Amino acid sequence: MRLLLAPMEGLLDDVLRVALTRVGGYDHAVSEFARVSGTLLPDRFFRRIVPELDRGGRTVAGTPVHVQMLGSDPACMAANAARLARLNPPGIDLNFGCPAPTVNRHGGGAALLDEPELLWRIAQAVRAALPPGMPLSAKMRLGVRDAGRAQECAQALADGGAQWLVVHARTKADGYRPPAHWEWVARIAAAVPVPVVANGEVWTAQDWVRCREVSGVADVMLGRGAVADPFLACRIRAGGLDEPDADERAAEWQALRPLIGEFVQGVQRKVEARHAPGRIKQWVQMLARRHEAARALFACIRPLRSLPEVAAELQRHGIHAPQPGDAPAGDPWQRIEHPPLALKAMARAA
């Protein structure tokens, strides 16, 4: 069983990867896409999107980060993959799942799922450009408007050299509207000779159980569910399949507060001050889906425009937000233990 951490353009970047992988539970993460559009990208471009490349391709907590590439020209994708390979990423992933109109209008992401032969040529060219031992995977949706060519697309990618496929179980037209059609993951898995990973609408441990039952695959990628519930992966790993009660959620929130403070510090280092409030609100709004305290916090920071105002409100809610030049709020290599699970483990040991 593998649990993978999904890429989420504009939200789950290197700063949030630090936070979520400190909580742990993931076999590897996948970066946001590096867009390839006709030029040979410099090393600094890849390092900007995936600064983990300067740490052996791992987050500060040690989780491997596979670098995702998006593009439609096989030769250009191959040339850039060869350049990226010199930076020794733990793996490379191809994006055929992004439904964003701005990406799709320029021949990228899920828009290519009407062209299985092009998918094969891209995968084959990239595979040929990489060292033999470097993993290559691909992430796809079920199709553009329907799932009629889903198996054909998956076969094209596997035949082209993708060593496993992540299937987001919705079409491009579906966007992120529920439900996710996990039964199609089972059909794709039966059609290809490589492992398949299920993705989409896994918000809880019970969703994870149902996803595996319906899809018939062991491996699952978590995206928005992981952002909303940072302890989801470690709870699954520990067999905690019941929803946490109010006391457990309160204990989780206490454990998350310093992590949120470190995230705020990382955001300030990465983006201009005028953009920082929006990034902070994004994560707090997602956390509000699972934590009552986050709902209260989001209600307070939502109307605020400036970073000092947001930082002051965070402080009022018990979240210290260090300034960019300050030392990290905690040891970034230290795992954030899930409080109820840690107590249960101590009780078992006794």
What's the average model confidence in pLDDT over 264-270? 93
Q: Say which CATH superfamily domain 3-237 falls into.
A: Aldolase class I (3.20.20.70)
Burial of 245 (0-12, 13-18, 19+ CB in 10 A): exposed
3-state secondary structure of 48: helix
Long-range contacts formed by 7-10: CB under 8 A, 24+ apart: 7/31, 7/32, 7/33, 7/68, 7/95, 7/223, 8/32, 8/223, 8/224, 8/227, 9/33, 9/98, 9/100, 10/282
* Mean of the per-residue pLDDT values of the chain: 92
211 catalytic? Reply is no
Q: What is the pLDDT of residues 107-152, one digit of tens each?
A: 678 999 999 999 999 999 999 999 999 999 999 999 999 999 999 9
Tell me which range, 114-123, 315-324, 336-345, is most confidently predicted by mean pLDDT.
Answer: 114-123
3-state secondary structure of 325: coil
Residues in the chain: 350
Tokens 């441990």 identify what position? Answer: 205
Three-state SS string over 221-290 comes to EECHHHHHCCCHHHHHHCCCCCCCCHHHHHHHHHHHHHHHHHHHHHHHHHCCCCCHHHHHHHHHHHHCCC
3-state secondary structure of 42: coil
Return d(Cα 3, Cα 16) in angstroms, integer. 17
Q: What is the pLDDT of residues 192-201, one digit of tens each?
A: 999 999 999 9
pLDDT number for residue 347: 34
154-163, 245-254, 293-302, 330-339: segment of lowest average pLDDT: 330-339
Tokens 């159980």 identify what position? Answer: 209
Return d(Cα 31, Cα 298) in angstroms, integer. 27
- At residue 325, does pLDDT exceed 90? no
Integer angstrom CA distances of residue 3 from 56, 122, 199, 219, 228: 21, 26, 10, 6, 16
- Per-residue b/e over 97-117, b at no fewer than 16 CB within 10 Å? bbbeeebbeeebbbbbbebbe
pLDDT number for residue 335: 59
Q: What is the pLDDT of residues 72-112, one digit of tens each?
A: 999 999 999 999 999 999 999 999 998 877 676 666 789 99
The DSSP secondary structure of 2-20, one letter per residue, reads: -EEEPPBTTTBSHHHHHHH
Read off the pLDDT band of 348 (50, 70, 90).
very low
pLDDT number for residue 13: 95
Return d(Cα 70, Cα 138) in angstroms, integer. 10
Q: Prior bond to 230 cis, omega within 30?
A: no
Catalytic residue from among 76, 98, 211, 234: 98
The DSSP secondary structure of 78-139, one letter per residue, reads: HHHHHHHHTT--S-EEEEE----HHHHTTT-GGGGGG-HHHHHHHHHHHHHHS-TTS-EEEE
What's the average model confidence in pLDDT over 301-310? 96
Parts of the chain belonging to CATH 3.20.20.70:
3-237
Q: Which residues contact 106 (CB under 8 A, 6 or more apart)?
A: 37
